[in-house]
Amino acid sequence: MAMDPRAKYLKPMATRLAKSKNMGKWDELSKLVEAVAVEEFDKRGKSEIKPNVDFYSAPVYFMMGIPKDLFTPIFAISRIAGWCSHIIEEKFGEAQEKPMLYRPQAEYVGNYCGLMGCEYSPLPER
């Protein structure tokens, strides 16, 4: 499996931020932890496990001066829309028979009405 496409962009962003903030040790530490973890997973036959977007979010948040106790709420807030869509699709859409872990490369299987072709119907009219 390839690296999470979001992490592919966040990793260099973390490096640029570390350089601009003179916090290179955090970037080096993140890359070292990533390398050691990937190597260890490879040894154990789990080469499909790669860092996801959250791995590089933590050092980016830290270097931005965001308090550590806000990392988890930011994580949750950034996912609420996706979690809600998955629940709606699982409950009411044409989702897979068995609930599964959704990945960024997952294909949407619901009814798509086009870029601007969707019409909103008030809840009582549905």
- Say what the pLDDT of residue 105 is: 57
Q: Give the domain CATH number at 13.
A: 1.10.230
What does the pLDDT look like over 77-108, one tens digit per residue? Answer: 988 888 888 777 777 766 566 656 655 555 66
**DSSP-derived 3-state class of residue 91:** helix
With 0.85 as the threshold, say if the pTM is over it: no
Q: Does residue 68 have a pLDDT over 70?
A: yes
**Helices (DSSP H) in 64-117: which residue ranges?**
71-77, 80-92
Q: What is the mean pLDDT of residues 105-112?
A: 65
From CA 90, how far away is CA 84, in angstroms rounded? 10
Find, among 117, 108, 13, the residue nearest to 56 by Cα: 13
7 touches 53 (CB < 8 A): yes
Domain count, the chain: 1
84 touches 42 (CB < 8 A): no
State the residue range of the domain holding 110: 1-126
What does the pLDDT look like over 29-48, one tens digit per residue? Answer: 999 999 999 999 999 988 88
